[in-house]
Amino acid sequence: MQVLKNLFQVGGDLNGITFDQPGALWNDANSYVLKTAQGLILFDCGCGDTMEQIFANMRYWDLSPDDIRVCFLTHAHYDHAGGAHLLKERGVKFIAIGETADAVASGDERCCGYLYHKIFQPVTVDQLVVDSQRLTVLGVEIEVMHLPGHSRGCTAFLFNWEQKRVVISGDVIGTLLSGDFGWSGSIDFDKTMYTESLRRFAKVDTDLMLPGHGMIYFHKPRRRVEEALNSALMQWR
């Protein structure tokens, strides 16, 4: 599905871009491709079982899987990063914050493989980033925003595209219902950190929010973050 010119959603079972198994809605997180003149940037890569579907979706848009140069990980959960080892074998370079790199390198409970009755295949992150860092990848300046809580490594990535400020937000907010926040069952879930992250994220204006699951927000995404903050403040005080 094309989101903006040269920006595509290529995976995600909640809205049926990929399909994992009957009844599954959260097995395969959203993955997105940014097409640059220097190659493709992927954001998250799904659980792994849907990799061929992701590739097929890409080919429909004339995006060759061989052109994926880098993949950013929003966090270590299986539905977002379970397929990373498959891309690694193809020479894709991974970029993530230290907490996520540490989790995916071990493949331990922080990656939640148990939740899907699967073994998380460990993977080494090639480039570590830190909060507030701006790095240029394939000619695109990408800003890193570390928003821990749903997991320790939760990170949003922001960039300008087609005169719009775009944020890849992972599971920092849930997007199935208004005002929802991400799943709170992770072994490294932290309520206090999460609330602080929502406070900080609620001050950031963007034009387009591409979340880890469900629908993309094309209008006033910050309001959704404010609603999630409100829910967190009500439920967690």
Residue ranges in contact with Zn ion by CB under 5 A? 77, 171
Which residue number places its CB atom closest to Zn ion? Answer: 77
Are the C-beta atoms of residues 68 and 51 closer than 8 Å to each other?
no
Measured from the CB of residue 78, what is the shortest distance to Zn ion in angstroms? 9
Burial (0-12, 13-18, 19+ Cβ within 10 Å), 219: exposed
Are the C-beta atoms of residues 233 and 179 closer than 8 Å to each other?
no
Q: What is the CA radius of gyration of the chain?
A: 16
Measured from the CB of residue 79, what is the shortest distance to Zn ion in angstroms? 7
Closer Cβ to Zn ion, 106 or 160, answer by number: 106
Measured from the CB of residue 29, what is the shortest distance to Zn ion in angstroms? 7
Closer Cβ to Zn ion, 116 or 217, answer by number: 116
Phi and psi at 104, nearest 5°, equal -70, -25
Phi and psi at 121, nearest 5°, equal -80, 115
SS3 228: helix
Measured from the CB of residue 126, what is the shortest distance to Zn ion in angstroms? 22
Closer Cβ to Zn ion, 35 or 231, answer by number: 231
Measured from the CB of residue 203, what is the shortest distance to Zn ion in angstroms? 23
Closer Cβ to Zn ion, 65 or 211, answer by number: 211
Q: How far is CA 98 from the centre of its chain?
A: 15
Quote the CA–CA distance of 224 and 205 in Å, as a whole number: 11
Closer Cβ to Zn ion, 45 or 63, answer by number: 45
